[in-house]
Structure 1
Amino acid sequence: MKREEKKRITREKIIQSAMYLFAEQGYEATTVHQITERAGVAKGTFFNYFACKEDIFCDVQLMFAVEEVQKIKDKPGPLIPHIRNIIANIDHQLKLSRPLVLAVCQGNLTNANSIQNMVEQIEELTEALTEVAAVGQERGELIKSMPPEMIAELAIQTFLGARLLWSIGRGDEDLSGHMAITFELFFRSIAVHP
């Protein structure tokens, strides 16, 4: 097995272990030690891939979003309700609180490795969303006056911006409600209205 492939598999094991533990006992109760123990790697190995627990949490969210977005382009029916479900599921699945989201935002911007990792994850999500936007345009659901890449970029900006503002105390108390209102305005701007 090539070195890069081994690194990818190790990183994936760490992420999968963290996802399981976050879902099972919540983010705040999960420790790096528990994640490494479940993944079968040394604690030092964890820190070769992630600077802190917040980094892995960001990866989990983005990985979940990419997987879910890739699934919806082949689903029948309108795309926007499927996208709404993904947004709601991220929030419900991870039981997010304002302090947690703020810590994740801060953690993602603390060092060059965290920033680079986030950039790579966002690029992957942008590719997936671009494909979905193109399908939506082909189906006549989304406006064609904006390139699919721009729709994808704006969706990510909307998501990250809404999350950041919510984490510092702005918007609806409930994150799901805050995201629903924010994305309702976004969807209205990209949807073809009969």
Structure 2
Amino acid sequence: MNRLARYLPPAMHQQMQAYRFEQDSCRYLLGKMLLLKGLVAQGYHSDILSEIQYNEFNKPWLDETVSFNISHSGDHIICAVSKSLRVGIDIEEVKPTELTDFTDCFSAAEWQCIRQEDNLLTNFYRFWTRKEAVLKADGRGLGIPLKELEVVNDQVLVGTAVWHLKALDILEGYAIHMASSEEVKEDISLRAIQF
């Protein structure tokens, strides 16, 4: 971890060290390293992490020419970087959870769709990652009430913005969705990176 941590600017290094559990520090660091690799692949310099700023909703950003987002769950970390679209991404490990805790997070139409599938738990996580991906792409996070953000369709209207959802079925036992400002018709470039 020390070898990779030297790539973090001081503020991020401090934030990494503030985590109580080493596993959380490691996830934070690896997420930032994925982001750095993605940004460098888009033509940014290797010290670009020091230029990241945060909006009033604590969403990180660089400039208007690039959009990025990081998510992690279980043993996996995923990062989306784009120079042509605004993006948000979410990954969740499909594991037992008390669905009644989420009653107020979904609309009646969403619950109806969730309950239609044979595997209720998997479908719940599919809808949860859809919702989270849109919230992250939009940039306001929980500034948007969850129940008011309906993700039944692959196009989601938030104010005047339309977000396009794409399922990424790349990991067994995980639900992953990406939201983007335009429909992604071509294949998404996926890379597994070992640090």
TM > 0.5 fold call: no
1 or 2, which has the higher helix percentage?
A: 1
1 or 2, which has the higher strand percentage?
A: 2
TM value normalised by structure 2? 0.30
